[in-house]
Amino acid sequence: MSMHALRRKISGEIFDYQVLIDNLEGVKYPRAKIGRLLKSGEIVRIKKGLYIFGEIWRKNEVSLEVAANLIYGPSCISFEYALFRYGMIADRAVAVTSLTIGRAKRFDTPIGIFEYSAIHKRKFGIGIEYREFPKEGGFFIASKEKALADTVSKIRMPLSLKDFKFYLIEELRIDEDSLHSLDKKMLKEIHLAYQNPFTEKLLQL
């Protein structure tokens, strides 16, 4: 099977081992074929069992959000990466940051760094939204309120309300207007589950 034929059969940019094997039907030695495709760079391994097409064979940009959900799960995009995506902070996160109910993990891949922070499953499902991504399926992402709550929950030092506001505006560089657009009802629901002093301060602000 030619690479052109394989590219026609697999419409998305991200695919797993089973999809690859299914679309190599008729190839006498599919594992050897996969090895050759990897060696030539026509496909690229993100992690064991998960692949993308090599750059010259891509039809669309690879969705880092979809990749993050597939690399390790169950997980959802959150923290600084989500805040940047919502336009709440100006600086792009170095890594794609996610929550997981599994163990904390980090993956260094050909398409970027993916970091996963562990959270209790009781807190995980609150404030998660699903976003459809054309041709790639979709991904789970924390709401603005949850992403900010997850970020401030990592603070490990006592802060007064004044110092906490300074931290948000000056250190995180949160757009102050975006704080006023947060859903207070959602923040309250998150705080009741998190029981964190800084989610309470978000409510106070």
Q: Please determine, for residue 175, whether its predicted confidence score (pLDDT) is greater than 90.
A: no
Are residues 114 and 19 located together in one domain of the fold?
no
Are residues 70 and 145 located together in one domain of the fold?
yes
d(CA 200, CA 149): 9
Are residues 35 and 122 located together in one domain of the fold?
no
Angle, vertex CA 95, rays to CA 92 and CA 98, nearest 5 = 105
Q: Check residue 176 and give its pLDDT.
A: 84
According to DSSP, the β-strands at 105-109 and 96-100 are unpaired
Total domains, the chain: 2
Q: Check residue 13 and give its pLDDT.
A: 94
Does residue 74 have a cis bond before it (omega within 30 degrees)?
yes
Q: What is the mean pLDDT of residues 54-72?
A: 94
Are residues 43 and 70 located together in one domain of the fold?
no
Are residues 50 and 73 located together in one domain of the fold?
no
Are residues 16 and 83 located together in one domain of the fold?
no
Are residues 71 and 160 located together in one domain of the fold?
yes
Q: Please determine, for residue 168, whether its predicted confidence score (pLDDT) is greater than 90.
A: yes
| Residue 105: pLDDT band with limits 50, 70, 90 | very high
Which of 88, 60, 75 shows the shortest CA–CA distance to 151? 88
Are the C-beta atoms of 58 and 80 separated by less than 8 Å? no
106 pairs with which residues across the strands?
A: 115
Are residues 38 and 109 located together in one domain of the fold?
no
pTM of the model: 0.91
Torsion sign (Cα): 196, 202, 203, 205 = positive
d(CA 134, CA 128): 20
